[in-house]
Amino acid sequence: MASFRFQIYILAFCAGLVIQSSCNGHSGLRKKHVALFIFGDSLYDPGNNNYINTTTSFQANWLPYGETFFRYPTGRFSDGRLIPDFIAEYAKLPIIPAYLQPGLKDYTYGVNFASGGAGALVESHQGFVIDLKTQRSQFKKVEKQLRQKLGEVEAYKLLSKAVYLISIGGNDYFSPLATNTSHDEYVGWVIGNLTSWIKDVYKKGGRKFGFSSLAPLTSVPGMRVIQPGNTGPSGEEVTALVKLHNRLLSKVLTKLKKELQGFKYSKLNLYTSAKERVNHPSKYGFKEGKTACCGSGPYGGIYTCGGKRGVTGYNLCGNVTEYVFFDSFHPTERVYQQMSKLWWGHNLKELFEV
């Protein structure tokens, strides 16, 4: 009798379990969860750049980064969690790990390929980051591994129920533009590569996507000061490119919805949300919208947070929750939390409903 009761307990335990590999050859859980695959740049990078050969300009694995939530630096370019971390939490998933995290073998909850500094164009910070093309190759390896582990049918099921988040494009417009290129042509290349990524994921079974418009890049503290050695486009040019990118992205997504059967997407209007918080911080519970909590020079705009980027001295604010920006280019955890809540409540939540 005791043995029978024990078996009942084990079955009940397995039925409610959220650990993928523990019960009944993987199949019990996938009905209960939707995997999350993440691509992009420093807004989403959970620490992939810790493991590549790059410079400290493209890393953030030292204090005070990570101090608010993790209590140690993870490689995230913020004081705490990023949008994908909050989305994972709302979707009742564990924090999605960095693809390059040593020893990572289980991709059944998804994985994060994002790399700080990455662009949609291979040329953006080439040699220092994991560009979108390389992130696509990494995803192919994961997809192959899932097929080997789960079998074709189950792997396709996981990939077609999964949600794919991407944050890309900002670095393509910070970098010097190709000479003799019109804005339309240049933004066309960026959106072209993003479209190609969507179609690639769609071919592998992906149907549900989350995009965000580009933020107002000239509002970041780092764009309010001239960075040493900066050869990029002017502020006015960056603003024009960002607005054009956002318009074109909306057009392309509307078009793809008609062309690709079953294609669903949710889009966060990061441009408006971020601009609002920069210009009216107190309305959203912040005291400072233009100056970084961590950095040096006017507005904290010189990218020295943590003292590992060639300059050891830097200023750090007393209360990070009062600030919109953590460092010269990246928001605080509190901003990311507000954005995530907004996006989840808007319609991202629906993509996670099985």
Which residue type does 235 have? Answer: G
280 in catalytic set: no
Q: What is the number of other CB atoms lying within 10 angstroms of the CB of residue 210?
A: 25
Catalytic-labelled residue, pool 42, 175, 296, 328: 42
Catalytic-labelled residue, pool 296, 327, 328, 340: 327
Q: Are 147 and 58 in contact (CB under 8 A)?
A: no
327 in catalytic set: yes
41 in catalytic set: no
Catalytic-labelled residue, pool 45, 175, 330, 340: 330
Q: How far apart are CA 47 and CA 311, in angstroms?
A: 22
- Angle at the Cα of 127 (from 125 to 128), degrees rounded to 5? 65
Furthest-apart CA atoms within the chain: distance in Å: 81
Could you tell me which of 205, 201, 197 has the C-alpha nearest to residue 156?
205
Is 36 exposed, middle or buried (CB count within 10 Å of its CB: 0-12, 13-18, 19+)? Answer: buried
Q: What is the number of other CB atoms lying within 10 angstroms of the CB of residue 6?
A: 10
Residue holding tokens 């294609």?
263
Task: Report the catalytic residues.
Answer: 42, 327, 330
